[in-house]
Structure 1
């Protein structure tokens, strides 16, 4: 054996060069313990910048051998007379370190984990891959694993190794392309990234796609997450959730952005501090109870680099953002909502991801998570990359992300963002700018398969949880079961209803007669899907004006229009969603960099809108006619849909057992005296809500709380009521 090989425990020059230049594809083949051919073993460790090293016995701590450093700085070798468990004692300029040798441990991930990962059907990636606190052979530490099949070498780096990619190169598990290493004695909280050597050279350091914790942005490292310590107290909620979220149950959603609902501000109006999840729960839960919403929906809280994306460009699909506290804080927030009878929905983005260099983009030097061809893989509208859901591992990655939130955090449903962009390969693209599917069509077949699989798996793994589609096209069967050829979502946002009715209400009342069908058109297709009526954040930003500021007329008319519109919405078939600030008529467009304008609640008009929303939610929950048959045509009956001249609409909502509510809307500023409307029965009808009531800062014009019917047939009904219709208002009545 040459002097060189003896000096380095039998290592050849090529292996040494690859180690020194951090390009060795299989560090485990040369580092750690290896037979010497004579019954003993060599122990090799590559410790750049170490001063000296020893091998100690793992059980007793006695010195087994001084490690020698040959002509290659940092490459230490010792020979033991017989194989045994050992520790490394390393002297650095900053002190002494005693640790087990990462390269003394065998393969870590089980074959079934790797098989399911490659198949795209591993349901629990969050607790198996990424950084996991585990014990190996009685030694506590962190097992790191990351998918990078086209990398030449991957190392985990962090403060624990001075961010030096030569220190902890990982083992490649063939044929899955997963790299792994166990770093002994590491603990939760440690910051880390992956250094990836691609075919073209070293890439910018990458955050862990499977990280369950991260540094606070703008820092971009992942953190080793502790196991969730929270002890759940929401057993009752979880038991009754399925019936609380059935299509026959009331579903009234308050959409919010966690950072800008309330926060600490300085005198200049700048945010000084976000509330953490526990502080937010103390403030938000009583408010939602007061307003009567059944659910909240959080805009995306997965970690995202740019706050101005509002979370819709996330990079850590398994990590709650560090902006509002820890994973345990987030779990405590969910639990507090559940104990108060409030469901929690999360916005979730499986359509695309940002191009930040520390993220998923060209993760191992190739298009791994995204499509290679920019005509498939680059989203021009958002400057983002599109997930290649036809790839098993990416399909499984997104599936596991969904289940992580639903199962680990007891989330009650996911609202899937930008579904339309997933369904169509030509979404927002001109001719020649997109790639047809294998049949020559425009449908994205792999995304469709993913969405169907997602909905089937959620139904199985998280019974009672909702998956809701933000889908803006006429794609058929979005909320039909997959067994019937549908996509399998629980609900679809009704974007058509939202656009039509907002267009109508923004018209001056004198012009509404020409737009009468915009308020009624939604009933033509109201039962083609299970719908949620959304007035979301998208409608109150980017120059679209706030909801109150969309309304025409003077101040009084603006508020009257807003109250009438909200009452119309709550009485229309379909579940409800309202964005924060709309419930009290905030004038300003929503700004994610400041809290809502809570000071407005000192004014009676704003307080009136808030009281109305509270009363609408209470009525919506209590009156079965308003929610029980939301998704069934027999729950709705037109009485007057054609009085365009007076801009009046009237209809009945029916419960499953035949109890009606009468809804009458007057969308002009003209009070109408003794306006006749047919009713099926009932000697007396009680006015249960009038959006023009004095308590809502209205003019208090109405019917004194009660109206007697007359035996005058009208609108195909045997009886009728002579009603006083208040201006720009909606009445709700029931027979008593």
Structure 2
């Protein structure tokens, strides 16, 4: 095919071989493709000195000219005249070496993915008095026959800027004059020359919403962080720190006061409103549902397309940096949900990116997720593995996030996850473990902790897969923490039972301690438990209105006494009675009522005590600092336990009465003689409790009880949890 036909049909694979400036014997040849131009001349960039006018080829937009005595290191611009105007552009096809630089080292380290690929803003030093401002584009599409950059700088015309294919499968081009804010996509032809849907940049740093889904050139170097104090201080041992996490869906935590508006709060508005609330409530961290760009609101972010781009629903990337920065300046950590398990089939995304399975497994028995109707990453492919590890590092480096909660880990670990017999492919040993995903997760965790020791990774893993939160050198997956899904399901099942039947389910509320120290657990009451017909947390509780609230308060107290870091989804802390709806706000109007104000006050008090009492957090992962006092009293549905601070000096007794029957002078064994002070009572009137009279201080006597050398007697209110501290 003739060059001009290749260019016109956007089928040119190696434009640097033909376009630009080429030395010939005794002359220098310039070949320029300029759709719509009438006249094109070459001028020296710095001086504007005329080099020569190019000849328009008959019936073509191709301009060619040869000139003698041209500088060997000439950096030139093109003076272009069309039917409407005259303008000057710098020819991108004179910068072949600079374009190729993107892929020289991209496979050496995962962070090179976001440092070299995508749209990188650069100042090129090309031997003239001033640098040339350019954007270098680089995209991986190994099986494409042609790729062009299209954007608002070239009228979205795929014939204007064909990219050069490299031997590594990357396509590259440097385009001068493209700056931050310009919108772009890639026009890709498959191996047979057939056009594909225009693709957003897989490593795009900012994206537009529907209908364009265009990527946006973005400068990550302009934001000035103010969180150095937090970043310096945030090196402490996470396992011995209090961690009470407020899980938030940014689009529905609160909607703007303007009822006629259907917009969301911006990142700046969230910083102004969410942070003071979280600080007042005593949470230590905010965990946001996925912020990577996603096309469908109803996926809550769990079907991401722009993995390197914070969603533009709430602002641009610097706005999200501002949100994180403000959290840190107010002493709050930020955890983001991260989704490396799967991605949707939207045409502008990763699916069949160059007409082949670049990012996903090709066999649907491995590459298609039946639960979520989405594609599964090919965890065995080097470029995909590097892409995902790079993305994990990117969020910690560029956005200072403190942790990654990794979604759907179980679906990655097992080849037969949610599949019937015959619908999956065994591994090389005939088993169901996905060795490729396992090694990817290990690499990701090692990379994050090596480069950012202050950060943490948290696995949402719902099976008994061993050593999820143990180091890789011990044969583990390398996560810092794991969600305790077993505790969540068992305890919610127990608390949903009528108190008269709880005696038959007593093992469900105690079973978690059988395995509680096998992993570094977070206790989650997450968004998944209050949606899709599961009902709001308070609606899981049996009984009348008062008993429902009392059950919730008692359960919350037990949760904070139980070993493990804490996580609660928004709305739980005010006793919201309706299921979470991503299209509306938390029901803040409920705080007009004493019941909901009381539940909110309870969570505020629990968070305060949790941070104040080392026995509740220092030893979450140390079995020496926990013991049951009595976990066998199924007849009365009463549980009592002992928590110790790391040095053993602080002793905290928690006792929960899971029935509506008050119990006076209830005897509880204690390890040490002395006075025990009541520091928390979920039945307190301040929490909309009954205010049943409980001793403020009780003194241990020499009566041995519950296999303890001493004991105390205390009144147990109905459906209540008490904390008592020695001394």
TM-score by length of 1: 0.95
Counterparts of 1:232 and 1:459 in 2: how far apart (Å)?
A: 22
| Residue 464 of structure 1 pairs with residue 457 of structure 2 | no
Cα drift, residue 94 of structure 1: 4.4
Distance 1:154 1:525, change over 3 A: same
Counterparts of 1:81 and 1:145 in 2: how far apart (Å)?
A: 34
Counterparts of 2:379 and 2:672 in 1: how far apart (Å)?
A: 56
Cα drift, residue 271 of structure 1: 5.3
Counterparts of 1:132 and 1:535 in 2: how far apart (Å)?
A: 41
Per the alignment, residue 392 of structure 2 pairs with 402
Per the alignment, residue 182 of structure 1 pairs with 174
Per the alignment, residue 54 of structure 2 pairs with 67
| Residue 729 of structure 1 pairs with residue 720 of structure 2 | yes
Counterparts of 1:664 and 1:79 in 2: how far apart (Å)?
A: 91
Counterparts of 1:114 and 1:156 in 2: how far apart (Å)?
A: 17
| Residue 668 of structure 1 pairs with residue 659 of structure 2 | yes
Per the alignment, residue 10 of structure 1 pairs with none
1:217 corresponds, among 182, 191, 210, to 210
| Residue 47 of structure 1 pairs with residue 34 of structure 2 | yes
| Residue 623 of structure 1 pairs with residue 613 of structure 2 | yes
Q: Which moved more, 1:27-36 or 1:102-111?
A: 102-111
1:571 corresponds, among 558, 561, 564, to 561
Counterparts of 2:364 and 2:550 in 1: how far apart (Å)?
A: 49
Counterparts of 1:109 and 1:353 in 2: how far apart (Å)?
A: 30
Q: How does 1:427-438 map to 2 (within 5 A)?
A: 427-438=417-428
Report if aligned partners of 2:252, 2:584 keep a CA contact under 8 Å in 1. yes
Q: Which moved more, 1:582-591 or 1:71-80?
A: 71-80
| Residue 450 of structure 1 pairs with residue 440 of structure 2 | yes
Counterparts of 1:98 and 1:318 in 2: how far apart (Å)?
A: 33
Report if aligned partners of 2:99, 2:173 keep a CA contact under 8 Å in 1. no
Counterparts of 1:108 and 1:86 in 2: how far apart (Å)?
A: 15
Per the alignment, residue 498 of structure 1 pairs with 488
Counterparts of 1:654 and 1:116 in 2: how far apart (Å)?
A: 52
Per the alignment, residue 624 of structure 2 pairs with 634
Deviation per residue, 1:121-167 (Å, 9 max, x gap): 33242232100111222211211110111111110001111111111
Report if aligned partners of 2:695, 2:715 keep a CA contact under 8 Å in 1. no
2:228 corresponds, among 230, 235, 252, to 235
Partner SS state of residue 524, structure 2: strand
- The answer for unaligned runs of 5 or more in structure 2 is none
Q: How does 1:241-280 map to 2 (within 5 A)?
A: 241-243=234-236, 245-264=237-256, 266-267=258-259, 272-280=262-270
Per the alignment, residue 672 of structure 2 pairs with 681
Per the alignment, residue 106 of structure 2 pairs with 117
Corresponding pairs, count: 717
Distance 1:212 1:391, change over 3 A: same
Partner SS state of residue 430, structure 1: coil
Per the alignment, residue 7 of structure 2 pairs with 19
Deviation per residue, 1:532-558 (Å, 9 max, x gap): 000000000000001011111111001
Q: Which moved more, 1:708-717 or 1:136-145?
A: 708-717
- The answer for unaligned runs of 5 or more in structure 1 is 1-12
Cα drift, residue 57 of structure 1: 2.2
Counterparts of 1:336 and 1:461 in 2: how far apart (Å)?
A: 23
Per the alignment, residue 644 of structure 2 pairs with 654
Report if aligned partners of 1:218, 1:305 keep a CA contact under 8 Å in 2. no
| Residue 541 of structure 1 pairs with residue 548 of structure 2 | no
Cα drift, residue 708 of structure 1: 2.4
Cα drift, residue 259 of structure 1: 1.4
Per the alignment, residue 336 of structure 2 pairs with 346
Partner SS state of residue 642, structure 1: coil
Partner SS state of residue 251, structure 2: helix
Report if aligned partners of 1:541, 1:590 keep a CA contact under 8 Å in 2. yes
Counterparts of 1:65 and 1:337 in 2: how far apart (Å)?
A: 58
Cα drift, residue 110 of structure 1: 6.1
Cα drift, residue 383 of structure 1: 0.8
Counterparts of 1:353 and 1:187 in 2: how far apart (Å)?
A: 29
